[in-house]
Structure 1
Amino acid sequence: MEGLIRKSERKARSVKERKRRYLYEKIDWDQKLIILLGYRGSGKTTLLLQYLSSIQRKGIYVSLDDFYFETHRLVESVASLYELGYRVFLLDEVHRYGWWSKDLKQLYDDYEDIQVVATGSSILDISKGKADLSRRASVYRLHGLSFREYLNFQKNIDLPTLRLEEVLNKHHVMGPELLDTFNFDTDFPNYLRYGYFPYFLESKNDYHQKLQETIQLVIDTDIAPFEELQHSTTRTLKKLLFVLSESVPFTPNIQKLASKLETPRNTVLRLLDILDQAQILLLLRSSTKGISYLQKPEKIYLQNPNFIYLFSPTMANIGSVRETFFLNQLSAVHSVTAPKFGDFMVDDAYVFEVGGASKTTDQLQGIPQSYLALDIKGGSNRSVPLWLFGMLY
């Protein structure tokens, strides 16, 4: 127990001066049970420790993948810490702990005056497990860095968050003002290559190696145990990811994929859904309501542009990079679906075609509330600079 307390104190001291992710200000910290979900390396642990450093009540940070919990139950540990005066419990990596849902439910029900903030993999489904936490927990999802956040972390440029309507209606005014604060020709391409996860601050040279190692970890230690995948299924999942990485954006022919992978069609659909939930892929569907994993997506993307440069470091298709950036940034804060015409529909209201400077509005003729998202510095009328969609969160 003393070891857990010492680790918590040491970890809290290490993050006091770091910048806060966008989600910190959006969380209702008065809630009794808060669950933060997100991809490895997105900053969940730092967010927990920043909160620990800001509170007045006695709190402790604990990682549930600590060897201590191989032989100790969380509920018993909290009971002991409660007697020592602790009232705020920040629990990291809950998906690595077999009793996560049952113990969180018991803590919620047994103690009136404690707060629990837990983090878990993006694949964590709080309605599953041995106890349904969906009626008790406030759930938040932490995405990777937006382009706006990247500029803040990399260059200490604190730009405002923009609403989508502002980007569409005022981009010709706001764009030039924002361009005065950074170098478009270097900063935007750098973000697309290595700016999505905060650990680029540690080393840009090793960034893509870290990306690859993290994807392996997510598959082997997050997805496989949590989804109870057999070793052969895990290998199929990795093979599926490799096949898709060579051809994204990918309009899926599920039967052909199944034949290539020598696995049943429904298994392919399930694995695609798992990779989407794990934030390795982005599945673009025709609707976001009432969707079953058995319905094939309209298009498959890697989850963020950095992944494209990981799998194709010298041959990344710039068209794919642009579309992936748009889908990644918009889907973090809006509903994005596949329209009948154009590349993307946002909030069932706006249609977008994504491309380079030479793309015209010909494909959008007759489509109301339609726009071009172009890889250009400044826009006009319905031609909106692509990079501005990185200012939405």
Structure 2
Amino acid sequence: MEPLLQYQDNLLRVVNNSFRRYLHPNINWNQRMIGIKGPRGAGKTTLMLQYLKFDLKEMSQKSLYVTADHTWFYNHTLLDTAMDWFKNGGRILFIDEVHKYPGWSRELKNIYDGLPEMKVIFSASSALDIYRGEADFSRRVISYTLAGLSFREYLMFTENLSFDSFIIEDISTRHREISLAILEKMQPLPLFNKYLKNGYLPIIVEGEAEYLPRLEQVINAIVDTDLAYIASYNAGTAVKVKRLLGVIAELAPFKPNISALARKMEISRENIYEYIYQLRDARLLNILSAEGKGLSRLQKPDKIFLENTNLAYAIDTNPDKGNVRETFLLNQLINAGNDVRAPINGDFSVSGLTIEVGGRSKTIKQVKEQDSFIVAADDIESGFGPKVPLWLFGFLY
């Protein structure tokens, strides 16, 4: 166990407690088995290490952090590692990137059933379907998803500006009061434009100049490594999936013509559907369905978006501003846990509220016949009536 403990100690030495992600206080850490999913670079590793170092107190001496791709597992199993740690007094096991370990679900089930006094906290790629592993996890694991930074978190992380989060009802009805209070502390628009380009992942701490190249590396790693582990991609499949992502990025957000995509890519319709939903699960795409329509993987999405605005800048150096606005709003709404649909009129529908997105001169013309509506307008610091500043939706989580 000594190599694993040394590895853990080296990581803990550089972990600080200056910034915590929104998910941290929402996790029920008392559960016996906890799964934390999320995109690469979102901060899953830091979240676990912060809990180990700063929250566990005396139990930290009984906690062990491992990463599933460590060389230790060339000749040790997860189950054997957990049992050895338990014999040495360990009671908590953190496993990072569990999807990189073959047969992960079977061995985690064995740990859960065979070591009832052992707590397991693991992280995994967004693309991993924890509830459809080789073993039945539905009664064992509690799963959480860690999204990228909201605009609110970005301000805290990069500018040390702390603000409360607000639910969609607050923003739609109290937006002027909320925005004016925020304006007393900052000017949002310059920082908002920075966030749209390079603020979604905590890797921004390494510098703005390095952000987009690093994000390109993240995209490649998701397709070449994460999806290769999870969906058994080979090199040829990964190339096709990245080509498809590139085609979608040029058009997004758009209403997909699956047959046309299949012809252009020289891929079957069935594979196009499969790859689109895998990219959605991997948090590279967001998919929008119409009101009253199910969410089956067999149904054609009504509209496809990139998952976040930074991806637009990483793939296309000069993305369309209108597309970026819609991508941002959908991303923040979904990450905050809202069920978002495509309405007949307007851009998005959330709990009966229709939202139209546009620039400062956008009017209510397209949505004024709806029972409840607002306009999310870019390039304004504060709004009035149904016109809400677009940047304020970055305070949803």
**Is the TM value for this pair above 0.5?**
yes
Partners of 2:236 and 2:201 in 1: CA distance = 30
Q: Which residue of 1 aligns with 2:121?
A: 117
Q: Which residue of 1 aligns with 2:287?
A: 283
Pick one of 318, 321, 324 that aligns with 2:324.
321
Cα distance, 1:339 vs structure 2: 0.9
Cα distance, 1:127 vs structure 2: 2.1
Cα 1:287–1:225 shift into 2, 3 Å = farther
Structure 2 unaligned blocks of 5 or more: none
Partners of 2:189 and 2:229 in 1: CA distance = 43
Partner SS state of residue 61, structure 1: strand
Partners of 2:222 and 2:186 in 1: CA distance = 34
Partners of 1:4 and 1:362 in 2: CA distance = 62
Q: Which residue of 2 aligns with 1:238?
A: 242
Pick one of 368, 372, 381 that aligns with 1:365.
368
Taking the TM superposition and a 5 Å limit, the aligned residue runs for 1:29-68 are 29-53=29-53, 54-55=55-56, 56-57=58-59, 58-68=62-72
Q: Which residue of 1 aligns with 2:258?
A: 254
- Is contact 1:301–1:324 with CA below 8 Å preserved after alignment? yes
Q: Which residue of 1 aligns with 2:111?
A: 107
TM-score if structure 2 supplies the norm length? 0.96
- String of CA shifts for 1:132-156, please: whole Å, max 9, x gaps: 2122111000000000000000111
Partner SS state of residue 208, structure 2: coil
Q: How many residues are paired up? A: 391
Partner SS state of residue 363, structure 1: coil
Partners of 2:279 and 2:213 in 1: CA distance = 20
Pick one of 67, 76, 82 that aligns with 1:78.
82
Q: Which residue of 2 aligns with 1:167?
A: 171
Taking the TM superposition and a 5 Å limit, the aligned residue runs for 1:147-296 are 147-286=151-290, 290-296=294-300
Partners of 1:32 and 1:172 in 2: CA distance = 44
- Is contact 1:288–1:335 with CA below 8 Å preserved after alignment? no
- Is contact 1:303–1:328 with CA below 8 Å preserved after alignment? yes
**More divergent stretch after superposition (359-368 vs 289-298):** 289-298
Partner SS state of residue 109, structure 1: helix
Partners of 1:340 and 1:300 in 2: CA distance = 16
For 1:11, give the aligned amino acid: L
Partners of 1:214 and 1:247 in 2: CA distance = 21
- String of CA shifts for 1:307-347, please: whole Å, max 9, x gaps: 1111222x221101110000000011211111111100113
- Is contact 2:34–2:142 with CA below 8 Å preserved after alignment? yes
> Given the alignment of the two structures, is residue 312 of structure 1 paired with residue 321 of structure 2, yes or no?
no
Cα 1:70–1:287 shift into 2, 3 Å = farther
**More divergent stretch after superposition (278-287 vs 193-202):** 278-287
Cα distance, 1:361 vs structure 2: 0.5
For 2:30, give the aligned amino acid: D
Cα distance, 1:299 vs structure 2: 0.9
> Given the alignment of the two structures, is residue 136 of structure 1 paired with residue 140 of structure 2, yes or no?
yes
Cα 1:257–1:369 shift into 2, 3 Å = same
Partner SS state of residue 155, structure 2: helix
- Is contact 1:126–1:132 with CA below 8 Å preserved after alignment? no
Partner SS state of residue 239, structure 1: helix
Cα distance, 1:254 vs structure 2: 0.5
Partners of 1:318 and 1:133 in 2: CA distance = 43
Cα 1:189–1:116 shift into 2, 3 Å = same
Partners of 1:60 and 1:19 in 2: CA distance = 22
For 1:361, give the aligned amino acid: I
For 1:324, give the aligned amino acid: T
Partners of 2:274 and 2:258 in 1: CA distance = 11
**More divergent stretch after superposition (179-188 vs 336-345):** 179-188
- Is contact 2:259–2:269 with CA below 8 Å preserved after alignment? yes
TM-score if structure 1 supplies the norm length? 0.97
Partner SS state of residue 23, structure 2: helix
Structure 1 unaligned blocks of 5 or more: none
Q: Which residue of 2 aligns with 1:69?
A: 73
For 1:360, give the aligned amino acid: T
Partners of 1:379 and 1:186 in 2: CA distance = 17
Cα distance, 1:129 vs structure 2: 2.2
- Is contact 2:291–2:343 with CA below 8 Å preserved after alignment? no
Partner SS state of residue 384, structure 1: strand
Cα distance, 1:183 vs structure 2: 2.2
Cα 1:43–1:289 shift into 2, 3 Å = farther
- Is contact 2:189–2:391 with CA below 8 Å preserved after alignment? no
Q: Which residue of 2 aligns with 1:386?
A: 390
Percent identity for Structure 1 against Structure 2:
40
Cα distance, 1:289 vs structure 2: 7.0
